[in-house]
C-alpha cells in the first residue's frame, strides 16, 4: 500500500492536474487501498485457517480443493500453484487520463 500512496503522490507532483483530476486520482488511490486491505484481510483469514488445518491434520481434500474444518478452502491442482479465491472485493473508481496531459 505504500507504493500506491507513493505513486499517487508522484503523479500529482509530476503532472499538471486540475483540482478535479487530483480529486479523482486521490479517490482512486483511496479506493485501491481499501480494496487491497480487504483482500489482505480475507487472504490472511483463509490462509490461517488452512495452515492450522494442515498443522492439526484436520483438513480434507475433495477433488482439487483442500478444505479446513471452518469451510475455508484453496485450489490444489497438480502442476499448478495453490491459490484461494477472494470474494466481494470490487469498486468503481475513475483514474484520470494522464496520457492526455502528455499531449498538451
* pLDDT by residue, tens only, the chain of 104 residues: 788 899 999 999 988 888 988 888 999 899 889 989 999 999 999 999 999 999 999 999 999 999 999 999 999 988 889 888 888 777 666 666 766 655 55
Please give the model's pTM, rounded to 2 decimal places.
Answer: 0.72
Rounded-to-10 torsion of CA 27, 31, 33, 37: 160
The pLDDT value recorded for residue 41 is: 92
For cell 490462509, name the residue. 47
End-to-end CA distance of the chain: 31
The pLDDT value recorded for residue 85 is: 83
Amino acid at each position: 500500500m505504500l507504493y500506491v500512496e507513493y505513486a499517487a503522490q508522484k503523479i500529482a507532483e509530476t503532472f499538471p492536474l486540475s483540482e478535479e483530476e487530483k480529486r479523482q486520482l486521490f479517490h482512486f488511490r483511496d479506493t485501491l487501498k481499501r480494496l487491497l486491505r480487504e483482500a489482505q484481510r480475507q487472504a490472511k483469514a483463509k490462509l490461517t485457517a488452512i495452515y492450522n488445518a494442515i498443522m492439526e491434520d484436520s483438513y480434507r481434500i475433495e477433488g482439487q480443493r483442500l478444505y479446513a474444518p471452518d469451510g475455508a478452502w484453496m485450489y490444489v491442482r497438480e502442476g499448478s500453484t495453490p491459490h484461494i479465491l477472494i470474494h466481494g472485493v470490487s469498486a468503481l473508481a475513475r483514474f484520470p487520463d494522464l496520457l492526455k496531459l502528455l499531449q498538451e
